[in-house]
Amino acid sequence: MTWKKDAGELKLTASEWSALSCLWEDSPRTVMQLVADLGERVGWAKSTTITTLRRMEEKGLVRVEQTGRGKSYTPAVEREQAATAETHSFLDRVYQGSVGLMMSAMAKRQELSADEVAELRAILEQIGEGK
């Protein structure tokens, strides 16, 4: 089984993931709230946070609203959309788009717990019932 690539695939940098994770947890957030949170989480300086947010606004990843003298930010992409795009990118880069190759590699290295195997079985059964 291979993933189908969507046109205009979303690609986020590690910095964008960090900022969006904060916004997905709680938004809207002010610049100063994001500065504090990202400083604590990843050690960013205020200037790094502001630069990252400006670039994300230019790319359409966040929405910005002027609130008095400050700005507030909300995510313009959904977490699921970003996660799906990242999964596609990872599978393409590492496993030539094959979920089967990835699962085989994990199974051979015994990297799946019994609970994870049961969860995968349940997912596959649901997919099978839907067809």
Class of domain 80-130: mainly alpha
Burial category of 128 from C-beta neighbours within 10 Å (exposed 0-12, middle 13-18, buried 19 and up): exposed
Listed residue (122, 85, 125) closest to 3, CA to CA? 85
The one-digit pLDDT tens for each residue of the chain (131 residues) are 333 334 346 889 999 999 999 999 999 999 999 999 999 999 999 999 999 999 999 999 999 999 888 899 999 999 999 999 888 888 999 999 888 888 888 888 877 888 988 998 898 888 887 66
Q: Where are the strands (E) in the chain, listed by range? A: 29-30, 62-67, 70-75
pLDDT of amino acid 6: 47
Domain boundaries, the chain: 14-75, 80-130
Q: 75 near 27, Cβ under 8 Å? A: yes
Task: Look at residue 9 in the predicted model and tell me its pLDDT.
Answer: 65
Please, what CATH class does the domain formed by 14-75 belong to? mainly alpha
